[in-house]
Amino acid sequence: MRARWSIVSLLFSGGAISYLDRAALSVAAPLIATALNLEPKQLGIVFSVFFLGYAPMSFIGGSAADRHGPWKVMLVAMTIWSIACGATAAATSLGVLIVIRLIFGMGEGPFCATAVKMVARRFEPDRQASAIGLAYAGQPLGAALAGPVVGLVATAWGWRASFVVIACFGLVWVMFWYAFASERKAGAIDEVPAHAAVTGVSQKPTAGALFDTLRHRSIVATCIAFFAYAYVLYFFLSWFPSYLVKSYHLSMTEMGFVSTVPWLAGSIGLAMGGLLCDGLSKLIGNAILARKLMIGFCLLATALCVGLAGRATSVAGVMSLMTAGIFALYVTSSLYYALVLRIVPDTLSGAVSGFINLAANLAGVVAPVLTGYVLAWSGSFAGAFALAAAVAVIGGSTMMLLVRTAGGVPVARHP
């Protein structure tokens, strides 16, 4: 059991580094835009291109974890994205920055699905939501640290230095991951435990079985809800720092520290989400229904908070509402994957987790660019807040209406 939770600790720290890397660009965006003469539309493209690499590699990485084991996939992924993060410091034009961000996104893409696969192979079903929640709780914590880290380093040595410093964190993590895993044979870590669900599909996943699973209405509904979650998240991640600077004239240092508050709340919400869901599952005796209810209600609560935040007229008001909204949003973060582990066979868990992550992160392509165009058209953030709230309503409603609560996804055998 201790070895299992040490894996969760490593995934927690890896997730923190992934969001520290990812959020660094948003925090440094006002400085980068000035240095490279970028307009809002161009900055939106820079934010979005990351996800053009990230989204497809979520699915590809999850499938690779099914076939080759999560330890190897995670080792390669973290190495690539850390190097790409450091290379951001060398960007001298929009084109160079776009290429670097694309490679960066490709490197980070496999992380979430690979982490889910690791948890699926090491934890019993009644502990998986808790384990995923605790493992992913590092992500918003990393985003919270991005403001102070980038703000302080950029103020002292310039924005380029901040990306080099953050890249070093990732490369150090790679050494810990390799050293931890090298104490065992790779097969011992990637070994499927006896409790893993394999009913209804052959041990080797087939394309036909995967297609049957992906087109099931519960998986489609999960993709839509997860897209809504990600839309709000990437709107906040990409544009909220610039919103604070432009609308309330905060300095880089002030913005860096103020923007940490919602992320800290998100980290708490993410850690609590899995624990609360496992508790609710035991209380009502239906794990799928517990996940469905928590995702649906929390997305609707997020929509209310984000919609009201767009009408707020003070920093305190905006921060209070966005903190509540991000908390509710992050309560659901691990539950999409926990739902997948409950309704699909273990042999497809990596691929399906990667697919829903791909669907969700298409929002990372859409949200930053669409927000940039809304700003260019209206000259105000109010419309962007309202649009994010509407997307969250659609996601929460879809989850409540379409996800079946009895049994898993039936998967036909394919030769």
Instruction: Give the 3-state secondary structure of residue 110.
Output: coil
DSSP 8-class letter at 348: G
Structure tokens at 274: 């899995």
Q: What is the pLDDT of residues 272-327, one digit of tens each?
A: 988 899 899 989 999 899 999 999 999 999 999 999 988 888 888 888 999 999 99
Q: How confident is the model at residue 53 (pLDDT cuts 50, 70, 90)?
A: confident
Q: Is 50 exceeded by the pLDDT of residue 413? A: no
Q: What is the three-class DSSP state of 155?
A: helix
Lowest mean pLDDT among 90-94, 211-215, 399-403: 211-215
Instruction: Show Cβ contacts of residue 83 under 8 Å, excluding neighbours closer than 6 positions.
Output: 107, 167, 171
Read off the pLDDT band of 221 (50, 70, 90): very high
What lies within 8 Å, CB to CB, of 3 at 6+ separation is none
Over 70: is that where the pLDDT of 364 sits? yes
Backbone angles phi, psi at 4, to 5 degrees: -65, -45
User: In the numeric block, which tokens belong to residue 368?
Assistant: 């930053």
DSSP for residue 347: G
Q: What is the mean pLDDT of residues 89-101?
A: 91
Q: What is the pLDDT of residue 316?
A: 86
14 phi and psi angles, rounded to 5 deg? -65, -40
pLDDT of residue 336: 93
Q: Give 187's pLDDT tier (boundaries 50, 70, 90).
A: very low
Under DSSP, the state recorded for 91 is: -
For 120-144, write each residue's pLDDT tens digit.
777 777 777 888 888 888 888 887 7
Tokens 């042999």 belong to 347
Least confident of 13-17, 90-94, 175-179, 191-195: 191-195
Q: How confident is the model at residue 206 (pLDDT cuts 50, 70, 90)?
A: low
d(CA 265, CA 262): 5
3-state secondary structure of 405: coil
Position 335 scores a pLDDT of 92
Q: Is the pLDDT of residue 365 over 90?
A: no
In one letter, which amino acid is 137? Answer: A
Query: Residue 192: is its pLDDT beyond 60?
Result: no
Question: Is residue 33 helix, strand or coil?
Answer: helix
Interatomic CA distance for residues 32 and 38, integer angstroms: 8
Rounded to whole angstroms, the Cα distance separating 177 from 365 reads 30
Q: Is 394 helix (H, G, I), strand (E, B) or coil?
A: helix
Domains annotated for the chain, with CATH where assigned, are 2-402 (1.20.1250.20)
Q: DSSP secondary structure string, 241-265?
A: HHHHHHHH---HHHHHHHTHHHHHH
**Considering the chain, what is the average pLDDT of its residues?**
82
What is the predicted pLDDT for the residue at 199?
37
Closest CA to 154 of 251, 278, 280: 251
pLDDT higher at 241 or 15: 15
Q: pLDDT band at residue 412, thresholds of 50, 70 and 90?
A: very low
Contact 113, 350 (CB under 8 A): yes
Mean of pLDDT values over 341-356? 82
Q: How confident is the model at residue 407 (pLDDT cuts 50, 70, 90)?
A: low
Residue range 98-112: mean pLDDT, rounded: 91
Residue 328 is predicted with a pLDDT of: 96
pTM of the model: 0.74
| Span 60-81, average pLDDT | 86
pLDDT tier at 63, thresholds 50, 70, 90? confident
